[in-house]
Structure 1
Amino acid sequence: MKKPIVLLFFLALAFGAAAQETFPYNGVEDHRERYYALTGATVHTDATTVIENATLLIRDGRVRSVVANGSIPDGAVEVPLDGKHIYPAFVDPYADYGMPEPKAEGKRPERQPQMLSNKPGAYAWNEALKPEFHAHAHFTPDAKAAKALREAGFGAVAAHRMDGISRGTGAVVGLGDERAHEMIITEKAGHFLSFRKGTSTQNYPNSLMGTIALLRQTYYDSEWYQQQEGLEVNLSLEAWEEVQGLPQVFAVDDRLEALRAAKLGGEFGKSYILKGSGDEYQRIGAIAKLNTPLIIPVDYPDAYDVEDPYDAEVVTLAQLKHWEMAPANAAMLADAGVTFAFTADGLKKKSAFLSHIRKAVNYGLDKTVALRAMTETPARLMGASDHIGTLSKGKLANFIVANGDLFDEQTQIYQTWVKGKAYTHKAVAQMSLTGSYELMLGNARYALEVSGTDEAPKAALQINDSTSAKVKFSRDDALVTLSFNLPEEDGKTRLSGTVSGAQWSGRGQRASGEWVSWSAARTGSSEEKGAAGEEDGEQAAAAPEIGEVIYPFTAFGWTEKPQPGTYLIQNATVWTNEADGILEATDVLIKDGKIAGVGKGLKAKGATVVDASGMHLTPGIIDEHSHIAISRGVNESSQSSTAEVRIGDVVNSEDVNIYRQLSGGVTTSQLLHGSANPIGGQSALIKLRWGYEPEDMKFEGAAPFIKFALGENVKQSNWGDDYTIRFPQTRMGVEQVYMDKFTKAVAYGELKESGKPYRRDLDLEALLEIVNSERFITCHSYRQSEINMLMKVAEHFGFRVNTFTHILEGYKVADKMAAHGAGGSSFADWWAYKYEVQEAIPYNGALMHEQGVTVAFNSDDAEMARRLNQEAAKAVLFGGVSEEDALKFVTLNPAKLLHIDDKVGSIKVGKQADVVLWSGHPLSNYSRAEQTYIDGIKFFDRQADQELRKQLAAERNRLIQKMLDEKKGGGKTQPVSSQRQYRHYHCDDFADEAK
């Protein structure tokens, strides 16, 4: 039998006239215009406007009008879509559709560092900067990928090449099957950036802080390049300047990187559109304060297979909670007032996009917000709202045809139209036929009920109030056949006909063989029945119950932010570190974040009283040399001087070592760059304010420091045979680096003061601060010869070395250090772990102390930092240092070295209330930190910690049981995997973490 005319019509829609007038055509051209009137559908012109029984008129690929009950103009082809819904096609603002595969610009030297770009041409010195790449110039439609995107409901995407730190511009393109020339909607939709260097084979940057420094320097270089004339041609800097007026889209890996990107943008007046990772809810308050739009993925994690209890132990609490809470991310952002668009980026199958959006709606996201985030918002963010995103006059005819409410789980997308051309995924004639009908068979009327699914429909005929008949029902595209037994006839009545919207009609034979005409008209749909069902008491499914967000989003995070209080600590043995010494049975009053009183018999109305009988109260421990709480790299090891990089850019507030060290009485840590180069990066001084945002952890008003290094690490003698390219390779070369860089810094300072134009150099800026005694050096050191060398270099340029850290041969040059004014921050008793520490001795700290050097003991290790009080005790054991002075090695003395002793380091009225209450003598192996206060806020309480452990165990068990139920119910699972929330860094770690 011939296919029905409806099907033939829709096949014809796939054939359209070419619009590329500048291209020759081989053959006879089809000049027919795409002029259609889509009638009878419910049209959602935007997220809030719905037109029932609408006529959508499109011509030449654009919307001409959308009106209710509109007439059909002469020449327009009617497309009846009764009972269907039309929505604007989705827009993905973050895709790599049609882009060439990223490839390295050149070949890296065999197993050796690459210092400069291999890219031919007058481009940037760094391969990861590619602002000159323009997506529209390289765009090639991909039929397979376009088909998958269309089937998911997308009509257009903003495509860019996902490679590099500056990735160049993206283009908004349609997902049709025509040439690139016709599919490009907006040539330059935005400048895309990331914190990943991609295919670059260059060493710099090899850390996140290096990536941020490179971006910061590039902004300054662009400003300089626009001012200078004829000095050089740099096509990348020219392109960088040209793209600054476009939307700036910045891809980040997590919520903390979102905060970092926004902070960087703020330095240069840039408001980035942040492409997030789906964990924004974990810092919802901070994200909302950014007041910047987001692009968020919907690639929710599958449950973990936790059947084996030992496997379950591998999964972190953060992983468990994120699995449960990720689908609520969008709803939480919407509730916080954050503007966002959805992207399918990250989904293994684009077909899952709509189901994941529906899941977000199920978790509390308003449908209107969801639709806007798929259509209007991405179009607006990409500067394409004049063309796509809504169905208003003059815009491209990009829309989808569905058989019901888009957010109903049963609704399917049957067609996606791109620029007025229909792409059919499921024949429109086969749209849902379920519902109630009035069947006219000759002159007789019957009630016909069609149920089931489109793939397996069921039908029944109601003869009268008491009699019904089963109907054998089948369909093939627009063709339907029915057969049934009528009570008054002997045999089957067989009918055949076609479907046109809500009307069926055709011919058939009665059981007697008589031919008869028949028709059926829809009287009610399954959607209407659903609505009626709700009125009868059926309610929409409630949003799933989920746990609470904790800060930070890891074990031991808090749900309620700890607040400062007034505390009266009574009857403690107080180690003041002041002239008063150690005070027995003494009270300390903490109020407004400060120490308000020290004495006996103190009173304070409304204070929380802490009975410290038999306990000791000391200042908080200060770790002068730490590598905790750092994200994606402790070393920028690619160059001999990286003074431009800043640990402060990469503070990781989620590192559980912060909490662990609070349990050991640590309140302040200097986060140092590693020891991979003579001149490392700028340090960050933080207070261990567990759960706070990274910027809020920083010690207010602290003096700026920088890490230098000497010895084996910086000359790369212990890096292997491949690392013989980067200067310096000898200890003599290390000295030459210092002399050369400080000479340049002095000249740089003179140029700045001259008023002449100059390029702002962030490396030399930091070094000039050292020369001017505005920034202070902490230097990784071991051997006396090198220690002497650096002090002489400093004296040559008129400044002093603030601190030698490690300083294991400090006992040999203690008198010279004291004369120079350098402090020593040493290990208590580490030695023999590499050649240059063979002459280290455990008496080092005591001997430097005797010579008048300000001595501190540091950790350089996340585990040791929890026991720095015991490290201090070793000064008593090795060298006979008094107990009071030994405690100062980890409290007041590091405060002096860090220039914060006016604020912390001792218990004195007016100082910041950073104190620790110990169960016993603070230098005893048997004593524990019971309570740790920072700024008068109790951040650690051992009794509360025991209760918290029980709560964590219960929460883990709840989530594991929920995952087991998910698996039992047929949900997808994934193998368990450990997700480390931090990396345990050491001085000499230098893996490439910028890729």
Structure 2
Amino acid sequence: MKRFFSLLLLLIFIPKIDAQEYFPNNESVQNKNNNYTAFTNAKIFVTPTQVIDKGTLLIQNGKVINAGKTVVIPKNTIVVNLEGKSIYPSFIDMYTTFGIEKPKRGEGGRQNPLYDTKKEGYYWNEHIKPETDAFQNFQYDNTKAEELLKAGFGVVGSHVADGIAQGSGILIALNNEDNSKRLLANKITNHFSFTKSSTTNQAYPSSLMGMIALLRQMYFDLDWYKNGNSTTTDLSLEAMINNQKLVQIFAAEDKLNSLRAAKIAKEFGLNYIFKGAGNEFERIEEIKKTNASYIIPINFPEAFDVSNPYLASQLDFADLRLWNQSPTNLKVLSDNGIIFALTTDKLKKMDDFRTNLLKAIQYGFDKTKALEALTTIPASLLGKSNEIGSLKNGSLANFLITSGEIFDKKTTIYENWVGGSKYVIKDITAKDIRGSYDLTVDNTPYKLVIKGEITAPESEIKTLDSTKVNSKISLANNWISLIVKSKDSVKTNFNRLTGYIENSPNLNGKVIFFDGKESNWSAVKTAAFENEKPKDKGKDEAKNNTIIPVSYPNIAFGNAEKPKQETLLFKNATVWTNEKEGILTETDVLVKNGKIAAIGNNLNEAAATVIDAKGKHLTSGIIDEHSHIAISNGVNEGGHNSSAEVTIEDVVNSDDINIYRELAGGVTTSQLLHGSANPIGGRSAIVKWKWGAAPDEMLYKDQPKFIKFALGENVKQANWGINNPTRFPQTRMGVEQVFTDYFQRAKEYEATWKKYNAASKKNKGKMPRTDIELQTITEILNQERFISCHSYVQSEILMLMQVAEKFNFRVNTFTHILEGYKVADKMKEHGVGASTFSDWWAYKFEVNDAIPYNGPIMHNAGVVVAYNSDDAEMSRRLNQEAAKAVKYGNISEEEAWKFVTLNPAKLLHIDNKVGSIKVGKDADIVLWSTNPLSVYAQAEKTVIEGTVYYDAKKDEAKRVAIDKERNEIIGQMLEEKNKGMNTQEPKKRIKVEYHCDTLED
């Protein structure tokens, strides 16, 4: 039986060896070295906080035997005296792609979009590939390893960075001498990202919200599969099950994405370590609340070359700030108690790692914390504290030998030992020959000065008449070699000096003349070397730039502090109540605890801030029923003809400058809608524009459930280009069939669950699969979720109402609805509202019949009508759009104003809280300089729940401050260039403004 199990284990192990030849177990053919090596008289950092002065480090067989002041040194031990030197644990980078070839697309290159995977036995989406095994894709890279070794790294984690679920990673010791000691773990991490795979052309997902929805569905499927409910084997989910006990790493790559991934982690009880982006300081409060650990890059942006003022003016204010503030990120994270490791990921070159880390330390990052982030913390996060990250007894002999403190600019790293194998970076035996000499070459006198670093000296030779001779000096194993450039050999008559360095302060050796003759040379030391004291340049390098304080959000027009709720008393305003009281003149409005507390005359409140509103107009905030601003990485999930599983709530972008512009236009609430790429789009997000708040804080509390549907040209791909129209539907009648099919599937899905839930425990059978998409559509059938439908042509408008009635529900809102005037009576009968444009028409074929009287005609027919923007620019002047109802339809001013306030609130089912000025409603109000329907009206204050988020006077002060700050940072960048630092060409940030039909590249 024992022999049987031995053979079985051998058979299991052999394929690994065959598939992977980079970690052979060849101890039988190597000469094992069992000798001890003792490093004495060194300052030893056993851990960042456990330090031994004049201690001894004893190693054997690649491991630490002991470290201390009184270590017993066995006989026949190799003793290395490191007096004056320091020993540190080698660094760990747990997030790299070391040794992994960049994944390539298969044969055929870019093809038409793939909608269904052709891979059998794997997960239905090819961007989910947890079966990827970095161990099977790995090939040790000596050249890259040397770069990492020189930077101080001894161990790296590596993985295949491709896809949303990327598979398992490995842990590698950078042992260039002994390949049998390289593999520390063939599976240690499990990787995720918000990036599609480059090896497949599968269309879904095409947006960030689609990726988030796909991850959610994957975890639901994983739980369902793990509990034995599937009748088939899924190799991807099998791999995911096997990977669940590994360290889970999520490459968020942005502060807001970290918050998004943290929501997924909380929802499914996961413990992700987030790979950050270096901008975490901008949302540190929210980052801290994730309670997660992080892996942080230090690829600080280079200064822009702002010497050309025209090009400098193109730079986005946020990019200027990021350059100025990035070096503080590590300090901010550390000061807030966030556990993080450091990574070399995203660096242009490895030399930048030390440069940037020293810069972060210069800006306040604690040196001990820095060492922890490179040693004990990554070791702990990987669950390998007993093996790596310290020099405790039994740990791998991974350590650095340095000339002094590791994070001192002048410190030299001499050697990097990994698993007991030495990698020489700089010659530790090199003697200090720096100084001034009287040089004599074949009886001809010269002056010689040797300066620079001990292991990388620089030479300067002058003749007696002070003529400079270009020369280059090098040291190796105590041999000196000094070469004179050929063009200067005439001045010296020789082109090379060589010699062995003795213990004497003087130098001598053999000289070779340019004609091949040889003779002797000698150099008598006349003065010791003194470090040159840098003049202005050194002072500039030591001086930190003034760091601009973070604002909320950390872009132009951000607030120095998050705005706070106030008690406000508006006196003597013209109040547009939108209630039966109509428009009140010379009226006071009291705002308290975020609500409208009182409306009347001669109101008083001792604690209130009094605002003189005489001659001004006070209205409820504008509500935009159809908006696409403040959405991250895609307004459309067009990979499928239905994307009911995605939600805009996942991708609200709190840092969009359009939010501030909306507030300046009096907008307080918007519905952020999915685009119109597919018949059944994604779920919407109703938001209040709380400028400076985090994305989740902007979401309307307990908001009604909405989803975007679409009709017309966009969904049938008539305008997608020649390579795209391959997805069903391709016709308007196909669109109707999509709706019918999905509603029928949803009915059957619900019936399946009802049957399962009603069955007794004994007869339940296999649990149905949770399908987020069909769950959402079921909510529509049960009238728990409302449809806002993109529409133009009357035939399609009638069609969707008929489909809805067939399945016994009602469409909530037709948006655009530019032919609504043709079917207003049918809309009234169905009970659907209209959210339209005031006067947009003829911008594409299906809009040819649009007229500016559309809104008033529907209104007069009894349909609830709102005007929306669907556009970042128009949303800033919806007050003027409302006025067009007066111009084109003879609608009263009061009723026209409801088109952008109370009516959209009704369409969104939030009119019990917003849309009018009424006691008890949310204090979402705007103070206008004059009649809000006037083209001259300006919003002077925009208030949401009693908090002032826009103030025209403060806006003026912000503009002055922005100009000042911009000039200050540009001045800092000019100094960087003058100091000879690297700079980059100015780049104008191109911001995509989303519309219904915007598709991600």
Report how many residues are paired. 911
Task: Give 1:419's aligned amino acid.
Answer: G
Amino acid at match of 1:664: G
**Alpha-carbon deviation of 1:887?**
0.2
Q: Is the 8 A contact 1:34 1:61 kept in 2?
A: no
1:986 matched to 2:987: no
* CA distance in structure 2 between the partners assigned to 1:24 and 1:280 by the alignment: 47
In 1, the alpha carbon distance for the partners of 2:75 and 2:948 equals 78
1:99 aligns with 2:109: no
Identity percentage over the alignment? Answer: 50
Change (3 A) 1:230 1:313: closer
Q: 1:354 offset after TM fit, Å?
A: 1.7
Residues 720, 498 of structure 1: alpha-carbon distance in 2 compared, 3 angstrom cutoff: closer
Alignment of 1:241-280 (within 5 A): 241-280=241-280
Q: Which blocks of at least 5 consecutive residues in structure 2 are unaligned?
A: 1-20, 436-448, 461-472, 482-498, 509-524, 534-538, 758-763
The change in CA–CA distance for 1:66 and 1:19 in structure 2 (over 3 A counts) is farther
Number of the residue aligned with 1:725: 726
Root mean square deviation, CA, Å:
2.9
In the alignment, which residue of structure 1 is the partner of 2:286? 286
Instruction: Quote the residue 2:695 is aligned against.
Output: 694
Work out the CA distance in 1 between the residues paired with 2:906 and 2:284.
38
Distance 1:835 1:209 in 2: 30
Q: What is the alpha-carbon distance in structure 1 between the residues aligned to residue 798 and residue 930 of structure 2?
A: 42
Distance 1:789 1:403 in 2: 80
Aligned match of 2:43: 42
Q: Which SS does the other structure have where 1:103 is aligned?
A: coil
For 2:108 and 2:364, the matched residues in 1 are separated by: 50
Q: Any conservation in 2 of the 1:140–1:180 contact (CA below 8 Å)?
A: no
Task: Give me the whole-angstrom Cα distance separating, in 2, the residues matched to 1:944 and 1:359.
Answer: 35
Query: Contact 1:204/1:210 (CA < 8 Å) preserved in 2?
Result: yes
| Correspondences of 1:754-903 after superposition (within 5 Å) | 754=755, 755=757, 756=764, 757-903=767-913
Aligned counterparts, 1:29-68, within 5 A: 29-33=30-34, 35-68=36-69
Distance 1:656 1:793 in 2: 40
TM-score (norm 2): 0.87
- What is the CA distance between 1:41 and its match in structure 2? 1.6
Mapped contact 1:671–1:683 kept (Cα < 8 A): yes
Whether 2:330 is the aligned partner of 1:330: answer yes
Task: Specify the SS of the correspondent of 2:218.
Answer: helix
Partner of 2:164: 165
Aligned to 2:113: 113
- Per the TM alignment, residue 892 of structure 1 is displaced from its structure 2 partner at its CA by 0.1
SS at match of 2:555: coil
Partner of 1:444: none
Q: State whether residues 128 and 164 of structure 2, in contact with CA within 8 Å, keep that contact through their aligned partners in structure 1.
A: yes
- Structure 1 equivalent of residue 929 of structure 2: 919
Residue 625 of structure 2 contacts residue 908 of structure 2 at CA under 8 Å; is this kept in 1? yes
Q: Evaluate the alpha carbon distance shift between residue 135 and residue 180 of structure 1 in structure 2; reply closer, same or farther with a 3 A threshold.
A: farther
Where 2:692 maps in the other structure, the secondary structure is: coil
What amino acid maps onto 2:261 in structure 1? A
Structure 1 unmatched runs, 5+: 1-17, 436-448, 460-473, 483-495, 510-519, 531-537
Letter of the structure 1 residue corresponding to residue 922 of structure 2:
Q
What residue is the counterpart of 2:238 in the other structure? Answer: 238
1:786 counterpart letter in structure 2: E
Q: Which position in structure 1 is the counterpart of 2:956?
A: 946
1:881-923 residue CA offsets vs partner (Å, 9 max, x unmatched): 1111100000000000000000000000110000111111111
Range moving further from structure 2, 778-787 or 376-385 = 376-385
| Aligned counterparts, 1:534-549, within 5 A | 544-549=545-550
**Cα separation, 2, equivalents of 1:983 and 1:341:** 34
Query: Distance between the aligned counterparts of 1:23 and 1:32, measured in 2?
Result: 14
| Matched-pair contact (CA < 8 Å) for 2:298–2:344 | yes
Matching residue's letter, 1:402 = T
| Aligned counterpart, 2:446 | none
Provide the residue aligned with 1:9 in structure 2. none
How far apart in 2 are the matches of 1:431 and 1:816?
95
- Quick check: 182-191 or 325-334, which moved more? 182-191
Where does residue 761 of structure 2 map in the other structure? none
TM superposition shift of 1:317:
1.3
Deviation at 1:34, TM superposition (A): 5.3
Check 1:20–1:698 CA distance in 2 against 1; reply closer, same or farther (3 A cut).
closer
Name which of structure 1's ranges 219-228 and 624-633 shifts more when overlaid on structure 2. 219-228
Q: 1:51 to 1:106 in 2, by over 3 A?
A: same
1:989 counterpart letter in structure 2? T
Q: CA deviation at 1:959?
A: 0.5
Q: In the alignment, what sits opposite 1:225?
A: 225
Q: 1:49-80: per-residue Cα shift (whole Å, max 9, x none)? A: 11122221111111111122534311221222
Assess if the C-alpha contact under 8 Å between 1:647 and 1:673 holds in 2: yes
Equivalent residue number for residue 136 of structure 1 = 135
Residues 403 and 431 in structure 1, CA contact (< 8 A), matched pair in contact too: no
Distance change >3 Å, CA 340–CA 230, structure 1 → 2: closer
Per-residue displacement from partner, 1:108-136 (whole Å, max 9, x unpaired)?
673x2211234x44212212111011212
- SS across alignment from 1:545: coil
TM-fit CA distance, 1:544: 4.7
Which residue matches 1:559?
Answer: 560
Partner of 2:192: 193
Tell me by how many angstroms 1:230 deviates. Answer: 5.8
* Whole-angstrom distance in 2 between the partners of 1:202 and 1:481: 62
Contact 2:25 2:180 in 1 (8 A): no
2 CA distance for matches of 1:178 and 1:751? 62
Q: Normalising by the residue count of structure 1, what TM-score does the alignment of the two structures yield?
A: 0.88
Judged with a 3 Å threshold, the aligned counterparts in structure 2 of structure 1 residues 123 and 105 are, in CA distance, closer, same or farther, namely: farther
Partner of 1:127: 126
Deviates more, 1:700-709 or 1:49-58: 49-58
1:216–1:230 distance in 2 versus 1, CA, 3 Å: closer
Tell me the SS of whatever aligns to 1:429: coil
Residue 295 of structure 2 is aligned to residue 295 of structure 1: yes
CA contact (8 A) 2:347 2:353 kept: yes
Secondary structure of 1:315's partner? coil
Contact persistence 1:53–1:69 (CA under 8 A): no
Partner Cα separation in structure 1 for residue 298 and residue 977 of structure 2: 21
Deviation digits for residues 299-345 of structure 1 (CA, Å, limit 9, x no counterpart): 11111011111111111111111111111100010001111110001
**Deviation at residue 382 of structure 1 after TM alignment:** 1.8
CA distance 1:105–1:379, change in 2 (3 Å)? farther
Q: Which runs of structure 2 are paired with 1:477-488 in the superposition (5 Å)?
A: 477=476, 479=478
Gap change, CA 1:244 and 1:19, over 3 Å in 2 = closer
Residue type of the alignment partner of 1:392: K
The equivalent residue for 1:710 is 711
How far apart are 1:800 and its partner, in Å? 0.6
- SS state at 2:670 partner: strand
Q: Which SS does the other structure have where 2:714 is aligned?
A: helix
Q: Structure 1 residues 19 and 892 mapped into 2: Cα distance closer, same or farther (>3 Å)?
A: closer
The answer on whether the counterparts of 2:33 and 2:61 sit within 8 Å (CA) in structure 1 is no
Query: Structure 1 stretch 241-250 or stretch 279-288: which is displaced more?
Result: 241-250
Q: Map of 1:676-687 to 2, 5 A cutoff? A: 676-687=677-688
1:811 alignment partner, SS class: helix
1:506 positional shift: 10
In structure 2, how many angstroms separate the alpha carbons of the residues matched to 1:210 and 1:300?
30
Offset at residue 211 of structure 1 (A): 0.5
Whether the aligned pair in 2 keeps the contact of 1:403 and 1:432 (CA below 8 Å) is: no
